[in-house]
Amino acid sequence: MKTDYSDIIERVLIDEESLKLKIKQLAKTINTYYEDKDTLILVGILKGSVMFMAELAKSLNIDLQMDFMVVSSYAENTYSSGNVKILKDLDIDIKDKEVLIVEDIIDTGYTLKKTKENLINREAKDVKIVTLLDKPERREVEIKPDWSGFKIPNEFVVGFGLDFDQMYRNLPYIGVVKRSFYENIEDAK
């Protein structure tokens, strides 16, 4: 079992303790916002949001349901193609419901903007966004989260649900990937 990722990770950007603390703070704010509203539906965007959504849900003390979507604009690349596809849709009807999209990271914004538009078109009562990470300098479309954990620089990151080629999601922290690591792999494709 590999425990040393120094050949891949340049540095830890956000440690495990900071992640947990920030998620508890986000949950407190969300609890307050939704305390007098109807049942909340958390919509996790798979696969990256799983770790964040699980930690967030554990700290929410409001009535909620959870569902998931698989929405992608990345395919097998490290950059967004801008072509957004729904690969797995919701099982829950969201018409007239309070919806909170739970996202791991907002980068270009293409995926999230299309997802939010899609949920609004289904006549949700309200659609808000919470993201663990926000990378505003990479934004190519107008989209802002209602709640955000950390603003991060334009670096390629993995861990706590975020991946590179479906790997490294299980790291308990957010780490910056060495440029040489992903450039060598992308050049080989």
Share of the chain above pLDDT 70, in %: 90
Among 136, 141, 67, 132, residue whose Cα is nearest residue 111:
141
Share of the chain above pLDDT 90, in %: 79
Answer with the residue of higher pLDDT: 85 or 116. Answer: 116
Give the tens place of pLDDT for each residue, 23-74: 999 999 999 999 999 899 999 999 999 999 999 999 999 999 999 999 876 5
pTM over cut 0.85: yes
Identify the pLDDT of residue 185.
60
Answer with the residue of higher pLDDT: 182 or 164. Answer: 164
Cβ–Cβ < 8 Å for 183, 189: no
Residue 107 designated active-site: yes
Using a 10 angstrom Cβ sphere, with 0-12 exposed, 13-18 middle and 19 or more buried, the burial of residue 154 is: exposed
| Whether pLDDT at 188 is above 70 | no
| Whether pLDDT at 184 is above 80 | no
Q: Indicate which residue of 89, 107, 163, 187 is catalytic.
A: 107
| Whether pLDDT at 110 is above 70 | yes
| Strand-pair partners of 95 | 124
What is the amino acid identity at position 81?
A: S
Strands 126-134 and 98-106: parallel
Q: What gap in Å lies between CA 113 and CA 167, rounded to an integer? A: 26
Identify the pLDDT of residue 187.
55
| Strand-pair partners of 158 | 175
| Whether pLDDT at 130 is above 60 | yes
Identify the pLDDT of residue 100.
98
Pair of tokens at residue 172: 């308990």
Identify the pLDDT of residue 2.
65
Name the pLDDT band for 86 (thresholds 50, 70, 90): confident
